[in-house]
Structure 1
Amino acid sequence: MRVGDICTGEVACIQLNASVRQAAEAMQRCHVGTLVVVAGDERVPVGILTDRDIVLAVVATGIDAQAATVASAMTTSVATCRELQDPFDAIEIMRYRGVRRLPVVREDGRLVGMVSADDIFAAVSLRLRGLSEAMLKEQVREMECGPRRAMGGG
């Protein structure tokens, strides 16, 4: 299993020079609280803008959301993971950086998706469920065989 297998391919993005108001409208339209900020058509993440960033950097300080740009409110140190990485690598990045979502990029840095802690939890839970089912089948098989057959008796 790779991060690229479990990430969401549809990612809400916004251009670096868009207004914060446009970003808030995009969040509302896409039903998300996080936008990946990109510059130009390259789809290389240059920042992250969250609804919390808008509240703290713009609304709480009284700045006009139409006049403020995404670049002025976004977080610039973007934590990302590569699509070929193991989900446990993504967990470590999330833990280290204190985030719940990571943009997923190809080797060339272009955005291909977004993975959340919930995505990883669901994927790992599904695998653990499969392991649990295998263990249960083994226990049933042992009970059906009885103690003599399980020990090699006949």
Structure 2
Amino acid sequence: MPVSELCHREVITMQKDESALEAARLMRKHHVGDVIIIAEEKGIRKPIGIVTDRDLVVEIMATELDPAVITAGDIMKPELATIKENTDVFEVIRYMRRKAVRRVPVINDDEQLVGIVTLDDLLQLLSQELSSLVKLVEREISKEIQQRP
């Protein structure tokens, strides 16, 4: 299954010159744990960084900095891991493990942001698939009992 079938298409974004306080407000308003930092080039929204709830705690709150003064660009992860929309879900899992990230923006061939996939999304998908396999085993046992009483 390509990641484009699983990813969330509504991604919360902001510019790198906006405040860390605004990032926190967006996360709270939309009930998410991250904001993707984008740069617009020729009408294309390209992801250039990410700010997570953990970044806000570790970089701003724990160091007692003013979130209204610090920008998203100041605390964003500089080397953003992204994945192409046609990438297989299991390759996404391997990629996230290799990069040690819990969230990955999904891009198209033009590097335009089209969605985001998170560890939570992948865990939910895998648990549903495992549940289906368990039901298969139960059905197989039931069928055998009926055929061979």
Tell me whether the two structures share a fold, i.e. TM-score over 0.5. yes
Identity %: 37
Equivalence for 1:95: 97
* Cα displacement (A) at 1:125: 2.1
Aligned-CA RMSD value: 1.9
* Cα displacement (A) at 1:132: 2.6
Equivalence for 1:69: 71
Equivalence for 2:11: 11
Q: Moved runs in structure 1, 4+ residues, more than 4 A?
A: none
Unaligned stretches of 5+ in structure 1?
Answer: 148-154
Give yes or no for the alignment of 1:28 onto 2:28. yes
1:84-104 Cα offsets, whole Å, 9 max, x none, are 112111111221122221111
* Cα displacement (A) at 1:55: 2.8
TM-score, reference length from structure 2: 0.86
1:66-91 Cα offsets, whole Å, 9 max, x none, are 22221111111111222211211111
* Cα displacement (A) at 1:106: 1.5
* Cα displacement (A) at 1:26: 1.5
Equivalence for 2:133: 131
* Cα displacement (A) at 1:141: 2.3
CA separation of 1:54 and 1:146: change in aligned 2, threshold 3 A = closer
Equivalence for 2:115: 113
Equivalence for 2:146: 144
Bigger CA drift: 133-142 or 24-33? 133-142
Give yes or no for the alignment of 1:81 onto 2:79. no
SS of 2:115's equivalent?
strand
Equivalence for 2:44: 42
SS of 1:72's equivalent?
helix
- Asked which structure has the greater CA Rg, the reply is 1
Equivalenced residues, count: 147
In structure 2, how many angstroms separate the alpha carbons of the residues matched to 1:100 and 1:69? 22
TM-score, reference length from structure 1: 0.83
CA separation of 1:137 and 1:59: change in aligned 2, threshold 3 A = closer
In structure 1, how many angstroms separate the alpha carbons of the residues matched to 2:144 and 2:64? 69
1:108-135 Cα offsets, whole Å, 9 max, x none, are 2111111111211221222222233233
Letter in 2 for 1:14: M
